[in-house]
Structure 1
């Protein structure tokens, strides 16, 4: 806790959240600051506001994606059932497509990158749990991964 009575958020906590939420530029910025001794992970994250960053080097790191952020994306397959969509975590559309065909013996009508849904809260019917997909993804150990099916416009995932 800081002197003003507000709980401190550490550099480590901000760094971890930036990675989990695919905030590629922020994560590389913090990584650069830590790697170059500008800040320590246990320090108050407010220290990040007063660092003189080397934006050129950080931009190069981001372009190379040194931290491998955002590799696993969310894909949604339009199934042969009307208004039913299958959700997958995968590195690419081909892996998601192959897993869908293997699991359900059908070719999806359409398979779309739906990473814009990652910050949304979904209810997982099988476990009666709710989670933001960014955070749920961190619990998965192998990809591609089937999350479940949902009806159009709903955020309840049911395993079929």
Structure 2
């Protein structure tokens, strides 16, 4: 006995994991009434898609997928993690918090699915799930050593562990 996976669940999954093309294809099918959100997701393979319209929606990013990205900055012999719209927001927040001019601001999309331990909060959670809990962006997440998945929040202008 297989459990029904709805079109709505596929759309939510594709949006959450930033599968741009799939999310926009499903959204196009629903918005043009080719399929309903409550339908079995297997019906998606039966839909005849207008690939030009889907590509145009994807290029315009109609669903607003991926506006907030994960960025990493080398800082205090570690790496500072931020959620922001763009590298400029990261640079400005980092300078404001730590008085340190940033070097390269690197987009770290591949780390979004990693489970991180937030030492100051004593929680272990994936960054993609943690992003859902943040209400204001840009947001400083913490510092981690290279190759480590333990984030520590540092005091402003000091580069030492402590409550921020």
Q: CA deviation at 1:16?
A: 0.9
Give yes or no for the alignment of 1:140 onto 2:147: no
Q: State the alpha-carbon separation in 2 of the partners of residues 12 and 85 from structure 1.
A: 37
Aligned to 1:23: 19
2:113 matched residue in structure 1: 119
RMSD, aligned CA: 1.2
CA contact (8 A) 1:25 1:62 kept: yes
- Aligned residues of 1:20 and 1:135 also touching (Cα < 8 A): no
Give how far 1:110 is off: 2.9
Aligned position for 2:32: 36
- Please report the TM-score for the alignment, with normalisation by the length of structure 2: 0.88
Write the mapping of 1:73-92 to structure 2, written as runs, cut at 5 A: 73-79=69-75, 81-82=76-77, 84-92=78-86
How far apart are 1:45 and its partner, in Å? 1.3
Partner in structure 1 of residue 7 of structure 2: 11
Q: Offset at 1:121?
A: 1.8
Unaligned runs of 5+ in 2: 155-164
Equivalent position of 1:151 in the other structure: 145
Count of aligned pairs between the two proteins: 154
Q: Which moved more, 1:142-151 or 1:41-50?
A: 41-50
CA deviations 1:113-133 (Å, max 9, x no partner) are 111211222122222222222
In 2, the alpha carbon distance for the partners of 1:106 and 1:41 equals 48
How far does residue 108 in structure 1 lie from its aligned partner after superposition? 2.5
Which 5+ residue runs of structure 1 have no aligned equivalent? none
Q: Distance in 1 between matches of 2:136 and 2:38?
A: 31
Distance, in Å, in 2 between the alignment partners of 1:126 and 1:6 is 42
Residue 78 of structure 1: SS of its match in structure 2?
A: strand
DSSP-derived class of the 1:88 partner: strand
